[in-house]
């Protein structure tokens, strides 16, 4: 099995790459290192089954080549981190929406299985517990940059489901909650919208 991991040098992506390599699979990492780090995958670089490309997921030509070489795509590349989202709302929207659309468009040509990493933020201010996948979404005002992230990830889900319905592209969507652990930095901490407006403190 050959897996392409966009954002593979990030917190979650590096752990996924490590797990797949331990299973004896081939792994291709595509990461522009905007929030990921070479240090996260330094211990994996000598593995001949790992191939790294430090470029943007929006490099259409390279993306197409890597998707062609892969059997499954784990799309984890995204603008993350509270500070980055608030300070760079344009980049957040462009990276999350355009990047995801390009991954889905490219994968659809060869019907490659795509995993889309979404987030608990898509539930917004919904106070219902426990959450269900078909619960309503309640976002804050568009004047608050924080909600651009939630809206962009919701659009990612709409795009993925649209590609499944119209193009029959096999897709899986995972909504991640409060993921913490080794290799995470405070600047990229995920947070739960119903518990706090501040990122969780990352473990050292």
**Can you read off the two tokens belonging to residue 51?**
């191939």
Instruction: Give 113: exposed, middle or buried? Use CB within 10 Å, 0-12, 13-18, 19+.
Output: middle
CB count in 10 Å sphere of residue 2: 15
- 66 Cβ neighbours under 8 A, 6+ residues apart: 4, 28, 30, 53
**Can you read off the two tokens belonging to residue 203?**
């473990």
Q: Would you call the peptide bond into 125 cis, given omega within 30 degrees of 0 as the criterion?
A: no
Q: Which residues are known catalytic residues?
A: 149
12 close to 179: Cβ distance less than 8 angstroms: yes
Cross-strand bridge partners of residue 26: 2
| Secondary structure element (H or E) that encloses residue 27, with its range | strand 26-30
Cα separation, 40 vs 135, whole angstroms:
35
If we measure between CA atoms, which residue out of 158, 203, 13, 187 comes closest to residue 86?
187
């Amino acid at each position: 099995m050959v897996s392409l991991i966009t954002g593979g040098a990030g917190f979650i992506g590096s752990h996924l790459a490590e797990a797949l390599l331990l299973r004896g699979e081939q792994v291709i990492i595509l990461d522009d290192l905007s929030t990921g780090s070479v240090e996260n995958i330094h211990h994996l670089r000598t593995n001949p089954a790992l191939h790294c490309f430090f470029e943007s997921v929006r490099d259409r030509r390279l993306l197409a080549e890597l998707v062609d070489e892969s059997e499954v795509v784990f799309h984890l590349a995204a603008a993350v981190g509270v500070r980055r989202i608030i300070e760079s709302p344009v980049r957040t929207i462009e990276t999350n929406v355009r990047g995801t659309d390009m991954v889905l468009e490219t994968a659809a040509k060869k019907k490659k299985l795509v995993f889309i990493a979404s987030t608990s933020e898509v539930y917004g201010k919904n106070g219902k517990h426990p959450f269900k996948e078909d619960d309503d979404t309640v976002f804050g005002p568009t004047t608050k940059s924080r909600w651009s992230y939630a809206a962009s990830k919701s659009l990612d889900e709409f795009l993925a489901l649209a590609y499944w319905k119209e193009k029959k592209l096999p897709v899986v969507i995972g909504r991640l909650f409060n993921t913490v652990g080794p290799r995470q930095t405070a600047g990229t901490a995920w947070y739960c919208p119903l518990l706090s407006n501040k990122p969780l403190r990352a473990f050292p």
